[in-house]
Chain A
Amino acid sequence: MTRKQKRLSVIAGALAFLGAATALTFYALGQKASFFYMPTELQAAVLEPGQRIRLGGLVEAGTVKRGQGTEISFAITDQEKSVPVAYVGILPDLFREGQGVIAEGTMRADGVFAADSVLAKHDENYMPKEVADSLKAKGVWQDETARPGS
């Protein structure tokens, strides 16, 4: 092989490699990215069975039931619709009624959302960013960050 051919073959190899990686990435994005829904949007959404989604909203007051042992059920609401959620595990420290949460998991056939993780990741207002944005858009929640001095 001449020097030029050699260089071309190396470049072709690298491009093939990159192409494979790109294809893999886009396949994975299509399969593994989970969409974020508020309860109202979830009613309208078309979900494939077993599709992972993230459900965000406020923990509806009075719905938190610590059931048999470690199983917990509650409802996530956006003040218009609410979706029942079932979860086994330890709730995050900042989980409480009326506060914003994001649950990740799948919709069961019976309309209950089976969460395998519940996040109450928060900023200073104990409100996950996605939830805050969506609620603000609905006018349910106002940003009350008054930060004097800054």
Chain B
Amino acid sequence: MIVETGHFALVLALALALVQSLVPLVGARTNDARLMATGGPVAVAGFALTGIAFAALVMAYVQSDFSVANVWENSHSAKPMLYKVTGTWGNHEGSMLLWVLILTFFGALVAVFGGNLPATLRANVLSVQGWIGAAFLLFVLTTSNPFIRLEPAPFEGRDLNPILQDVGLAIHPPLLYLGYVGFSVCFSFAVAALIDGRIDAAWARWVRPWTLAAWMFLTGGIAMGSYWAYYELGWGGFWFWDPVENASFMPWLAGTALLHSAIVMEKRSALKIWTILLAILTFSLSLLGTFLVRSGVLTSVHAFATDPTRGVFILAILVLFIGGSLALFALRAGSLTAGGLFHPISREGALVLNNLFLTTAAATVLVGTLYPLLVEAVTGDKISVGAPFFNLTFGPLMLPLLLLIPFGPLLAWKRGDVYAVAQRLMAAFGGALLAVLATLLLADGASVFAALGVGIGVWMILGALTDLVQKSALGTVPLAVAARRLAGLPRSVHGTALAHLGMGVTVLGIVATLAFEAEHITIMKPGESTAIAGRTLRFEGVSPVQGPNFTETRASFVLLGAGGGKLGEVTSAKRVYTARQMPTTEAGILTLGFSQLYVSLGDPTQDGGIVVRIWWKPLVTLIWLGGLVMMVAAAVSLTDRRLRVGAPARRAKAASSPAGAKA
């Protein structure tokens, strides 16, 4: 009954999405307020119905209702409750339902918070959201229906892939999807502007919060995914240039560019056409990511069951939306008016440069990700493009961008003075230089590159702080005044500084980990010790442990400091999941300050020892902390008054507020 209610609600949601994709659009074309007004309530109702469907599926998982094929395939009655719930989206069908749920969620948000948008823009945006919703609901219902039933129902499920039985699954996919799908709103705004053939003055102002929100979630999703892969896969790496990682990274790069170009568009009415194109490209890359992951055309840890019909269906959606929107762009872009002028050396110029770097970087990642597909299609050769390629292309592109970041926020609009800015950054430059020298002197065997890398991280952090210091006039006015000025700065200024600082923190973490990591593979017997990065790791012994749906062999270690004092304990395990008889490695991680000790187990040897792989990863947590700082930065920026206003208080036009906005 619950399951079928969910199924029915999902079908109804499709019906509403079809209505939403046509009726408001017709209303906008014929300037009929009533037709346009249907968009809001229909979007909200569509979200509610998709929510019912999703809740029903979660319920089926919680209750282990194996009459639902999807539950039978991916759940097990002995699984802990958390993983029963997260298992809902730990498979293809469920994760696509989550995708659609988030899509309708954003549609509903536009409906609820879009009350002060011009009626035609709002109607067009909701219709475009409706197209995406209808396409994906149709995809879910026809090729990936999670509500298919089994009769008679089996009594036990086949269990979730053990790698996915982790808290990471509770956070990573929802965050990532919030990011991916959040860009659909920017896309809808862009297409709506193209349909109308005009860009409202506040267009960028409306698009920016959605971009910020999506970017915030995507940043979090990527950071979380990276940390998850790091501790779960047991290889100690934090980024593999895996196609699926790239699939989430490309929209991030494009989204970051969009975030910056939208500022220029809002402040100066310039870069309009470019911003529209970026909005389309960003969501197109999100769709491409969905296609790459869901169709299984690329080998990846993320490839669940793969099915050609699904791939073809998503490919059709991809072609339809990307091709259609780009065609519309080609048709209409000419009619959009160009905006304000600016000197190449200016805030605008800096933001254009940023866009150039970011989009080029996204393009190289795209080439590296799709090239193997292309080569296989053309010549039949199977090749793989891995870290060496990206290090050689993505690296050189990022390096100048990172160096230039501190300049951007300090440059004036329209015409900037690069020497004055350089002068103001002298302190930050001095600090970075100091960090380079300190690294060379203090860290044993630090290469010049490593020291320079540390310098770049420090330069970015200090540069971001310089921005705040300058804008609050700290040092030139009394401290109390400066503090008041700092607090009075627009939130977006704080957001900018914080985001750039977060980027610097991440860079610092990456450099420190890559340059100063110590790794050691050895065989240990209980009681033996091994040295790692000036510390001593003692192997205490192994013990068998019985988990709820697995058995594991757990090895305990104790980490001793240089002086022999105990720094902490760490356990690492080999696990076998009973239902699928699948082994996994549970890495042992000990966090000391910002650094981590990482222990991974190999096979036991015949003489009672065990192969142990140990890493000392200095400052490794900074990589993800930086991501967290960037998320916070986006949240701070989102609270900026200017963004909340959207369209200002409508003193004169209170009576014309569109009906249905409060639905």
Contacts and interface: CB of A to CB of B under 8 A. Distances in A.
Interface residues of A, number: 43
A145 B521 contact: no
Contacts of A47: none
Contacts, number: 126
Interface size class of B (residues with CB under 8 A): 35 or more
A32 B394 CA distance: 13
Interface string A36-52: 10000000000000001
Task: Choose among B352, B383, B583 the residue with the greatest number of A CB atoms under 10 Å from its CB.
Answer: B383
Contacts of A25: 363-364, 367-368, 393
Interface in B352-401: 352, 356, 360, 363-364, 367-368, 371-372, 375, 381-386, 388-389, 392-393, 396-397
Given A149-B69, A150-B148, A28 B613 contact: no
A130 B381 CA distance: 11
A111 to B, nearest CB: 22
Interface string A129-141: 1100110000000
B69 A21 contact: no
A112 interface: no
Interface string A116-136: 000001011000111001100
Contact of B381 (A35, A121, A124, A133): A35
A135 to B, nearest CB: 13
Contacts of B389: 28-29, 32-33
A19 B609 CA distance: 56
A144 to B, nearest CB: 13
Nearest to B233: A92
B63 interface: no
A147 B584 CA distance: 24
B82 interface: no
A89 B613 contact: yes
A52 B523 contact: no
B383 A124 contact: no
Given A93-B584, A121-B299, A130-B382, A70 B371 contact: no
B648 to A, nearest CB: 33
B269 interface: no
Contacts of B583: 93-94
Given A34-B384, A90-B613, A123-B306, A21 B344 contact: no
A149 B522 contact: no
A66 B584 contact: no
Contacts of B386: 32, 34, 104
A24 interface: yes
Nearest to B242: A121
Interface string A1-34: 0010010001000100110010011011101111
A18 B359 CA distance: 10
14 contacts: A10-B352, A17-B356, A18-B356, A21-B360, A21-B393, A24-B393, A25-B393, A32-B392, A88-B521, A90-B585, A90-B602, A93-B234, A130-B299, A149-B148
Interface of A: 3, 6, 10, 14, 17-18, 21, 24-25, 27-29, 31-36, 52, 54, 66, 69-70, 88-91, 93-94, 104, 121, 123-124, 128-130, 133-134, 145, 147-150
